[in-house]
Structure 1
Amino acid sequence: MKRMCARLMALGVSISLLFTGSACSLTGDGKSSSTITPGSSITLGRVVNKVDDIVEKEDSESATLVGVLTYLDTANDMTHMLDIESGVEYEVPYSGGTDIRSAYDKVIADSSMELGGIYDVYINKSGKASAIIGNSDAWERNDVSRITIDENNRKITIGASVLFYEENTVVLSGGERINIAKIVDQDNLVLRGIGEKIYSINVTSGHGYVEFSGLDAFEGGYVTIGKQLFSVTEGMLVTSPVGTYTVEIQLEDVSATKTVTVKKDETSKLDFSEYVPEATKYGTVNFSITPDNAILSIDGNEVDYTEPISLEYGRHYLTLACNHYEEYTETFVVNSSYKTKVIDMVSNGTGTTTTESETTVDNTSGYTVNVQAPTGAALYVDSVYVGIIPCTFAKSYGNKTITLKKSGYKTVSYTISITNTTGNLTYSFPDMEEASTESETESATSN
């Protein structure tokens, strides 16, 4: 491989990297701006190079390159291979005489080569592949989902396993190249690599969306789609794996069931407006708070909690403040006639002698994430509606699924990773792709 690169330099061949991207900005503390990858480098740029200048002698025993198959045209005997060492993508033709084999040395047809597969490619002096053989050192992991992507360190965590990806790692969905930021928890993946490096990711089963309406009777309840469980919120848009699911929605003794079919990158609609909400109901909440001199505010109003408090059914926002303790905030749901809520505030270590808390300090508290583009799109964070862009939501660390929805455009999701650091963040996502009228479907059946 070093020999090949040296020859390329001697010939004056220009090497262009596969990924060149239009970036969105990520700003911390409102002072400086830097680019993150891939949460910001959403747009792909591709340069496919001719293979003429890297021909080998026909008797060469070493592969000309080890590449990821990114494109296959069996009608015209053409492949595109991305060299994993240099990051250059080459147009590699082949012929009926090309020796094509799997990594297990089994002869296969050209149509059996897999996009995202890693191959040893031997190129003869005529500029065609004399052999394309599955790389014997490459591994493959199937049926992978819910990966954690660390954009800053190009690290992927799968359960207890930690792997790394490259700037030029190939990510495919339906045969098309996508950015790694478009992978969400609901996608089913095939990963391929060598050693600790991932060189290709193939989305074998993608995701679609379920848009809910008419939820007045179930506000504060829960909805399940397959194995996913969500709190019911107004105007919710759920990202779901493709497939047909029974959707169950419930609030206390009121429940409803419908069937929905989720198609890749399409939005299915579920309307529950036929269920009429009951008259306003109230529940009694008995608060048990430590320390007992903490100040409690509910929905922005300070309240006396020495006696049980009557609250309307639904969501409420509470805050607790007390000297020498960390401020406590929570959104809770009242959906029963009586409940006891126990809250133990955490000492901040000032004014008293305490043991060090093992709880991770949340450095994101009090900061915001500002989304500036695409303007006019509805923003959802982990299926919960936030607002119309430009808009802002509270910053919290971890992976977030960002979903963008706009009339006349294809709904799209991105995964962003927010680190546990101080400072506000600003994101701008690419322009959305126009959609045909068929991309929005109503595929719900009431049971």
Structure 2
Amino acid sequence: MEEPQKKSPGELRRDQLLKYAVLGILGAVLLFILLGVVSCTIASRKEKPGGLEDTKVPGLEENVGGVGKTIRSMVLVHAVGRNRLDVYDIDNDKTLQLQLEGKVELKNAYGQAITLTDLRPGDILEAKYDERELVPESLLVSGKAWTRADETGVEVDAGSNTIRLGSDRYSYTKELILHYRGEPLEAGRLHPADVLFLRGYQDKVWYVEVLQAHGTIRLENSAAYAGGNLQIDGKPYGTVSADMEVAVTPGIRTVEVVKEGMEPFSATVMVEEWKTAPLDLQEAVTKEGTLEISLDPGDALATLDGNRVEPDVPLSMAYGSYVLKVSREGFSSHEETVLVDQAYRKLTIRLERMPVNLHVDAPVGAELYVDGAYVGIIPVTTPVRPGNHVLTARMEGFLSVEQVLQVDGNAGDLNLRLPALEPAAGE
């Protein structure tokens, strides 16, 4: 047998290099495959929150084609374009632009088919769309959203982002759509006099449309009527202040101002949306009347609002209320509020004398009656006014005694002894 031909050192070196090259190629192929596997694993973990293969996220459905996940969510329409829809995803708190290329199921709240042109900013939809491609499968005008139409008296608190409708209170976010005739409007411009349409979902308001904006009435030259009562269309609007402004619903409004001592003011004014209608109250006209006061006794002291007045002297007085006080020593004081509201008025004030104390000390033990009214058991003291009074003493088993007493207001206190009682017959 022939011996194998030995390879030269050059050939051995070439074979060794070839072997290394093959091993290098195999290693590179294995490394490429490994990197591909790792990359797919990382991508898969990113698509599932938390990196857990079996985690289920509400509102998401696995897309069979593997393109993306299907989102089911409530969305608020911001703008409607050609083959696109700008929306805010309420459930996932993000803004999106949905692409409406191809077949998309569009329905209203009654399940009837509609077109993209039927949608408006502020609509709330139940959307089903691909998370990655942002292509909706279906859009349904939600019946879960609520609406309130022709609302007035709505109070908006921009500080706390709340809206109060009567006893109901809602919140809103920066995504609130507020429109007036299709144009954006700041929430701070809203007033309870505005007429509003509101749409919301659960406890939040997402869309407000001003159907009719408020106007303003400004009372000019109103200082003379300050403190008077303001009414608009028969409804009270508080107390008048100088150059005050009042927000009202637009239209022809009847303004009335009433103040004591002033001619009542009444006028109609046309109020337009967002505009101020000035109303000049002009100079107030003060009405005057004549007041005459007679006094009995004639030398009594009379004052009106603290100013002394002479009796039986006609006084020219501005319409209004005044406090009248009349007094005299030995007489009861008199006080009343006098209203001057006519051309002439006369008052007669008669003071009553102060009562005097009557002390009856006999017959002891008898009952004393003054003008038929029981006073007490003699001896007894009782006040009596000036004039004639009938005093009666009674005791069981005795004949009653009567006596007429004339009391003079200037006499001072009186002491009296009635005649002794005689036994009744048969006693």
**Where on the TM-score scale, by shorter chain, does this alignment land: which range?**
0.3 to 0.5
Larger Rg computed on CA atoms: 2
- TM-score, normalising length: structure 2: 0.45
- TM-score, normalising length: structure 1: 0.44
